[in-house]
Amino acid sequence: MQQKIDQVVDVLQKARRDFPQACFASSLGAEDMVLTDLIDKHGLDIEIFSLDTGRLPEETYNLMQAVSERYSTPMKVYFPDSAAVENYVAQNGVNGFYGGIASRKACCFVRKVEPLRRALSGKGSWVTGLRRAQAVTRVNLEVSSFDADFGLQKFNPLLDWSHKDVWAYIRNNDVPYNKLHDEFYPSLGCAPCTRSVTPGEDIRAGRWWWEDPENKECGLHASKSSQVAHGFGVSASSDALKRRVQTFLEKS
């Protein structure tokens, strides 16, 4: 385990050394708490920031507060542009993301991608907590690669860590974490777009649970080709999608 930790610290140091103005985008998920702990513990000059979409679960706000009390490295929080949110809601409705992939991605764009672009503006490199095993959309990731969408070198130091590795680090180092993880939410996002999973389900099955697995990115880590699919209008919603949403709402 120590060897894996040392390798992560090496990657973080490289990101900071080779690319001044390195930053770490924390989603406050379990992996990102590991990286927050290591950045703070080693006093690495990497700016930590997070995005408040306005639709986060209460438990995530509690964790944000715990992070600010535990660590001396500050975590800057970016918010969506209020006029853009108002416009989205006027066009799609406050829960318009259930209406189709285009309207869901448009919501993610307004609440996540645009604030992320602002946060990354002027930065030299971007550290993330992505792991290969998290999703079919992440199997081809590399530890370091150029992200053409954001024009930055991107580092994924935990790429080959397992779910077990992440939780071993959190337990061994008493790292604060989102209490929803104890209620079968292995992957966390906005409250209306995240549900708990059952044993045997994919760990990201609870994210945008009404969509097909290959669509399950919000645009923060999508490839250029997949971002072409981002739209700002509302697509015709499919019957299958409507049925999945309806089934979920009936079971909730």
Position 223, amino acid: S
Is residue 218 annotated as part of the catalytic site, yes or no? yes
What is the closest distance, in whole angstroms, from the C-beta atom of residue 175 to ligand SF4 in the complex?
Answer: 24
Q: Which stretch binds ligand SF4 (CB under 6 A): 21-29, 151-159, 188-196, 242-250?
A: 188-196
Applying CB under 6 A, among 104, 123, 195, 204 the residue interacting with ligand SF4 is 104
Nearer to ligand SF4, 38 or 113 (CB): 113
Q: Report d(CA 241, CA 68) in Å as an integer.
A: 39
111 in contact with ligand SF4 (CB under 6 A): yes
Applying CB under 6 A, among 93, 192, 213, 233 the residue interacting with ligand SF4 is 192
Applying CB under 6 A, among 34, 85, 107, 220 the residue interacting with ligand SF4 is 107
What is the closest distance, in whole angstroms, from the C-beta atom of residue 179 to ligand SF4 in the complex?
Answer: 19
- From the centroid of its chain, how far is CA 117? 14
- What's the Rg (C-alpha) of the chain? 18
φ, ψ for residue 58, nearest 5 deg? -55, -40
Nearer to ligand SF4, 189 or 206 (CB): 189
221 in contact with ligand SF4 (CB under 6 A): no
55 in contact with ligand SF4 (CB under 6 A): yes
Q: Which stretch binds ligand SF4 (CB under 6 A): 9-17, 100-108, 124-132, 148-156?
A: 100-108
User: What does the block give as tokens for 96?
Assistant: 């318009």
Q: Report d(CA 55, CA 69) in Å as an integer.
A: 23
Applying CB under 6 A, among 23, 218, 222, 241 the residue interacting with ligand SF4 is 218
User: What does the block give as tokens for 121?
Assistant: 């503006």
Q: What is the DSSP letter of 129?
A: -
- 230 touches 109 (CB < 8 A): yes
Q: Report d(CA 206, CA 84) in Å as an integer.
A: 27
Q: What is the DSSP letter of 110?
A: I
Q: Report d(CA 212, CA 69) in Å as an integer.
A: 38
Contact set with ligand SF4 (CB under 6 A):
53, 55, 97, 104, 107-108, 111-112, 189-190, 192-193, 218
**Annotated catalytic sites, by residue?**
218
